[in-house]
Structure 1
Amino acid sequence: MDQEKAALRQTLRQRRSALTISYRREASLSIMQRACLGKLLRRGQRVAVYVSMASEISTWPLILKALQAGCQVFLPVVPRRGRGMHFVRYDHTSRWARDHYGIPFPVHEETCRPQDLDVAFVPLLGFDGRLARLGQGGGYYDTTFRFRRLRQKWRKPRLIGLAYDCQQVTQLPVAPWDLQLDEIVTETRHLRVSQVI
């Protein structure tokens, strides 16, 4: 399974990188609009969004729209040891720092536990029609939100993947610890777990 996932990651990175910059820009705006239409950004909610890197969907339109909608926005911080991330508030008072991977994160006194988030937008390399997710392979999101797998009844946060349409595959190889998403928003669709056959 590991070799299959590694090969898929390479293919999907190439597929995503082949998209033009202008297409990526338009797709990011479309995804932000779909998130608004889907009522994913509500005043007062604690919303986690990641800072996009390389050819990922740009999350800045979504971050700015969430702030404008009155959401409390939190961004993840990757730990030096372990895989459990914590989330730091992002607002007009935040300063910026970089983690050991070079990923920017806000410096703010207010933090939020993953269990206390209402919505978490998560990055991915690939997804399938069952809303299974293929991440970068580090296991940070799988570890951070593993408590979702242990619950008998569904509770927050809603886990929403952001992706381009070209990142969908027929079926992903799935391990028991892999994160299962509730929704995926692409530039043309908004898929929900209730719509999965």
Structure 2
Amino acid sequence: MTGVISIKRELRRTMRAARLAHWQALPNSHRALIFGRPPRIILPLIDAAETVGLYHAVPGEVPTANYAAHMLDMGKMIALPWTASPEGPMTFRLWTGSEQTLEKGPWGPQPHRAMPEVAPDALFMPLIAFDAALNRLGQGGGHYDGWCAKHPAARRIGLGWTVQQVDAVPCEDHDMPLDAVITEQQVLLPVNKRAIS
């Protein structure tokens, strides 16, 4: 298992650099247009969800502001990750969609601690890398892994750039595959493991 951890560490280093370089090369106007709303083929994964989990993107990550606005327009409640310390554990708290209702957290902006804790029914997750089998490589802290293990029924949808796809993500026993991955060019689903553009 130590070998897998070492491979993951090196893959994270390489893919973080690739992700950031890709993001930096995008014109600001282009960044604002992509990922405007979830592709129609994804809607069955979120239609029944009352609460949808998103994340507050950091440089390099797929932006989620447009998704947040769209979810609110759909009548969904939205939630963002919340942690009291870098070690976790991670929970989710409701978010109104306003920057004024965020506070500084260990990993960046997060909902104010007074906001109610909730368990999203569907979850859009950031990632470092992914493969065609919908395996996800995260930041390495285990925050999403821990939350998903406690809420296995929640739909797990990864958001990433096409450059983040690799041949195979090294997996450990606790790793859970995603239900879908959305990039700026395609949607990957587990039904047939085929990219849908």
Q: Do Structure 1 and Structure 2 share a fold, with TM-score over 0.5?
A: yes
- Map of 1:132 onto structure 2: 135
Tell whether the 8 Å contact from 1:163 to 1:184 is kept in structure 2 after alignment: yes
- Map of 2:58 onto structure 1: 53
- Map of 1:152 onto structure 2: none
- Map of 2:26 onto structure 1: 22
Tell whether the 8 Å contact from 2:37 to 2:66 is kept in structure 1 after alignment: no
Tell whether the 8 Å contact from 2:87 to 2:141 is kept in structure 1 after alignment: no
Q: Find the partner of 2:80 among 71, 75, 84.
A: 75
Structure 1 segment 45-124 matched on structure 2, within 5 A? 45-80=50-85, 83-91=88-96, 95-101=101-107, 103-107=108-112, 108-113=114-119, 117-124=120-127
Give % identity: 27
- TM-superposed CA distance for 1:23, in Å, is 5.1
- TM-superposed CA distance for 1:147, in Å, is 3.1
- Map of 1:11 onto structure 2: 14
Deviates more, 1:186-195 or 1:85-94: 85-94
- Cα–Cα, structure 1 residues 44 and 56, in superposed 2: closer, same or farther, change >3 Å? closer
Which letter maps to 1:144?
W
- TM-superposed CA distance for 1:187, in Å, is 0.5
Query: Residue 193 of structure 1: SS of its match in structure 2?
Result: coil
Aligned residues, how many?
Answer: 187
Which letter maps to 2:160?
A
Which letter maps to 1:77?
W
- TM-superposed CA distance for 1:59, in Å, is 1.0
Q: Output the aligned Cα RMSD.
A: 2.5
1:31-90 CA-to-partner distances (Å, cap 9, x unmatched) read: 333445532554872100011112111111111111122110011102327533111111
- Cα–Cα, structure 1 residues 25 and 66, in superposed 2: closer, same or farther, change >3 Å? farther
CA distance in 2, matches of 1:28, 1:133: 25
Tell whether the 8 Å contact from 1:12 to 1:167 is kept in structure 2 after alignment: yes
CA distance in 2, matches of 1:3, 1:44: 37
Matched, 1:159 2:162: no
User: Any gaps of 5 or more consecutive residues in structure 2?
Assistant: none
- What's the TM-score once normalised by structure 1's chain length? 0.83
CA distance in 2, matches of 1:132, 1:44: 23
- Cα–Cα, structure 1 residues 24 and 133, in superposed 2: closer, same or farther, change >3 Å? farther
User: Any gaps of 5 or more consecutive residues in structure 1?
Assistant: 150-155
- What's the TM-score once normalised by structure 2's chain length? 0.83
